[in-house]
Amino acid sequence: MRTVLIEPTENPKVMKFVADYNLIPGSLELDRNSDISEIPLAQELFNYPFVERIFITANFVAVAKQDTIEWEHVAESLKNVIEDELLANPRIYLQKKKEMYQIYAEMTPNPNVMKFVSNKLLIDGFVEVKSRDAAEEVPLAQAIFNEFDFATEVFISDNFVAVTRDNSVEWHQVMMTVRSLIADYLQNGGTISNLEPQKHESPVEKIINRDYTEDEQKISDILNEYVAPAVENDGGKISLMEYDEASKTAKMLLQGACSGCPSSTATLKNGIENILKQFVPDLVERVEAVNG
């Protein structure tokens, strides 16, 4: 409970209600014509018809009343109202509810990469930071690099952050600390990225700067429908980067947790290659991985 003291003033129409801390910088003078939509304290006080004006500055609230009522009958009630409202909104203005981020850690097929998943969308698309020097425009990645010497790469996509570690630590030693840093950073309103996120639908266009041919589009459509969701669930990204019609070879761009993953080659050979052979046997015979 906030402690408020009642202090008379030289003006018999005005009573001061003094708090034990500074309420606001500057001052507010309010009457019944003022915009008080963001000031719950004023809303509550003006519910009393005898309250004419409210003055808030430093550590007190001064209330001016009509002559038709005596302070001895209402001062204590107003004091209780002010105490309750200061408890709910200590800085007078309506407190905006912070967006609550819940973060949980999730293993990926790459033992060096841990995925930290949020209950809220972080960015629409993805951003990949491959080194500390490249983190300047991605403040969340910069915060991770600044705090953890073992962090080598950061991949941010939709509702998760995938962090790559070096061999100086094991994830069970640092997982909770990284999770806490990411959660606190987001909870405090930290900027995630100043870069425009790459779009999931055709991220390869930013790299090779060309449109897909008709055959490439067929291959890409199959990847997007049957392969990409599972890969993204593991904290990675896969796209068709290049297609050689003569050798029927499709080169895949791997990003995020998939990049450099020990199981990437096996996954491509045993999974993706088989899927493409099944759906477009006339187009694909081999699949190669290119780490992004």
Distance CA 81, CA 64 (A): 15
Amino acid identity, residue 77?
S
Q: What domains are defined for the chain? A: 4-88 (3.30.1370.70), 103-188 (3.30.1370.70), 203-291 (3.30.300.130)
Q: Tell me the average confidence (pLDDT) per consecutive run of 10 residues in the chain, 292 residues long.
A: 85 93 87 90 93 92 92 92 88 71 88 92 91 93 95 93 95 94 90 86 49 85 83 74 86 69 60 86 83 60
pLDDT for the residue 185? 92
Q: Cα 43–15–12 angle (5° rounding)?
A: 125
Distance CA 160, CA 116 (A): 5
User: Cβ distance 198 to 206 under 8 Å?
Assistant: yes
pLDDT for the residue 213? 85
Does the pTM surpass 0.75? The reply is: no
- Count how many Cα atoms sit within 13 Å of the Cα of residue 51 in the half-sphere of its side chain: 24
